[in-house]
A and B are shown apart, each in its own frame.
Chain A
C-alpha cells in the first residue's frame, strides 16, 4: 500500500475528505463494477471507477495519481446506474478538485493544438476541469 502521508501528518483520511467535499459516502460502494462496465472511457483508464473508489475506501493515496480521474469526462453514466445511488462522477470530481486545489494542474492552454479551431465551449470546460 502506498505511503499514507495525510495520516502521518495527522490529517483526515481520503474517504472522509471526499465525504466532506462531495457528500458522497464511498463505503456504500460494494464494488459491483457496473460503473466500470458502462463507462464510455473505460478502455482508456488505468483504474476503472469502482477500482478508484476501492482505493479511496482503503485510503490508498495512489488514487489521486490515477490517470482515470482526468480521463473521466463527467458524463454521469455511472451516476445514474449506480445501484447504491452513489454519484460516482461527483467522487471523481472530488479527487480532481483535491489535485487542482493543490495547484497540480494538468493542462497549459497555451500549448493546446488546434487552439483556434476548437469551439469556445471545449476550452471553457477544459479550463474549468483541468486547472
Chain B
C-alpha cells in the first residue's frame, strides 16, 4: 500500500531518529512511503480563535500539496504523520475546512496560488496506522526479538489525545501504546502522568516550569518501576530528556532514558539499520540485564 508522508520540521531535525525507525517499521510491514512534495511547516500549534483563518493557511497548503502528490504518484488517501503536534494541527485545519463552508471559501481565497483543497485525505498518526491498518496480531507476527518483559512507561502527552475530535484514543484512559508494547513482549507500566502535559512550548519562555513538570513525570514513572519512557512527540522527548539533566540533583530515583515508540518497534522487528548505534546498545543492554 502506498501512503503519503508528512514529516514536519522537527522530525527532519532533532527527531531524525524517529523518522528513520518509523519509516523502516512501516516498510517492513509492506507500506510504500511517498513524502509530500514541497511540504511546509504546519505551525506546531493551532491558534484557537474562530474569527480568523490564518492559522489554517499553512496546514491547508500542505494538504493541497499532499493531494497533488497523491495524484502524481497514485498513492492512497492516507497521510502519515509522526509528530503529535503535526497530527493535531493538520487534523484541526482539515476539520475546520470541511465543517465550515465560509472558512473554506476564505482559505481558498488566501491560497489562490494553489489548486483548491478537495478534502479527500485521511490524516493518520503512526500509532493509528499500526492499530487500524496493520493490527496488533500482525505486529506480533513480525516480532523477531522480544523485549523480554522490559518495563515500558508510555508518555502520550497532550495533543495526541485532546481535543476529542482529533484524538487518536480515549483522552483519559488511552491504551494504544500499551497494546503495541505488549505485542513486542514488553511489560507496560500504568502510571498517573502518562496522559498529562509536559509543559510544551513553555520551555522557550519559562523553562523552569517545564523542568518542574518533567521532574514530576519522571519521578512518577520511576515510582511505578519504569525502566524506559516512550513517546511519539519530539517536544515531549526533548523536554523529558533535558528536564532530567537540569533537575539531576533534585530528582528522586534514577534517570530514565527517553525513546520513541518506533525505536522499540524497530528493535523488536530486528531492523538494526534503522536504529542509532547507541540506541541499539542501550536497548540491548536493558533487555540483556533482565535476562
Contact = CB atoms under 8 A, between A and B. Distances in A.
Interface in A39-90: 40-41, 44, 70-71, 73-77, 79-80, 87, 89-90
A125 interface: yes
Interface stretch (B41-49, B65-73, B106-114, B178-186): B41-49
Contacts, number: 134
B163 A125 contact: no
Contact-residue size bin, chain A (C-beta under 8 Å from the other chain): 35 or more
A106 interface: yes
Interface string B176-202: 000000000000000000001101111
Interface residues of B, number: 43
A125 B15 contact: no
Contacts of B212: 44
Contact of B45 (A74, A79, A94, A112): A74
A121 B13 CA distance: 10
A77 B200 CA distance: 13
Contacts of B150: none
A106 B209 CA distance: 16
A44 B209 contact: yes
Contact of B163 (A71, A76, A112, A126): A76
Contact of B171 (A70, A71, A80): A80
A123 B204 contact: yes
A119 B13 CA distance: 8
B162 A119 contact: no
Nearest to B43: A128
B36 interface: no
B49 A97 contact: yes
Contacts of A128: 43-45, 47, 55
Contacts of B200: 73-75, 122, 125
Contacts of A44: 206, 209, 212
B163 A124 contact: no
B238 A119 contact: yes
B9 interface: yes
A102 interface: no
A21 B50 contact: yes
A121 B83 contact: yes
Contacts of B47: 93, 97, 128-129
B15 A119 contact: yes
Contacts of A79: 162-163
23 contacts: A21-B50, A22-B48, A40-B197, A71-B202, A73-B201, A75-B196, A76-B162, A80-B162, A80-B164, A97-B47, A107-B205, A118-B204, A118-B238, A119-B10, A119-B14, A121-B83, A122-B235, A124-B9, A124-B41, A125-B201, A126-B201, A126-B204, A129-B47
